[in-house]
Amino acid sequence: MMEIHRNYYQIQIQGHLGENWSDWLQAFHIQYNENGITILTGPVIDQAALRGLLDRLFDLGIPILSFRQVDFHPEERIDSPLPQD
């Protein structure tokens, strides 16, 4: 078996995404900012998975503000402040 390298991605979207999406976003950590921005942080196996995720957000009409690769596990840094781009 090929080893799967997990990358972590952080995606900022416009609007607070409700708890009802947590099943779909299973492995993602969801964090809300006061200004109506949701920050999703979680593992993305590869570029195809990333594209699938972004496509889904796009199809739901959720505006994507930024996304970037991060090198930490979301669980470890839940409370750390987000660097602003």
Binding site for another protein (CB under 8 A): 13-24, 35-36, 38, 58-62
Instruction: Decide whether 48 or 71 has the Cβ nearer to another protein.
Output: 48
- CA pair distance 35, 33, nearest whole angstrom: 6
| Contact predicate 10/67, CB 8 Å | yes
CB of 17 to another protein, least distance (A): 5
Instruction: Decide whether 22 or 66 has the Cβ nearer to another protein.
Output: 22
CB of 46 to another protein, least distance (A): 16
Neighbours of 27 (CB within 10 A): 11
First to last CA, the chain: 38
Instruction: Decide whether 25 or 70 has the Cβ nearer to another protein.
Output: 25
CB of 51 to another protein, least distance (A): 10
Query: Which residue has 């999406």 as its token pair?
Result: 21
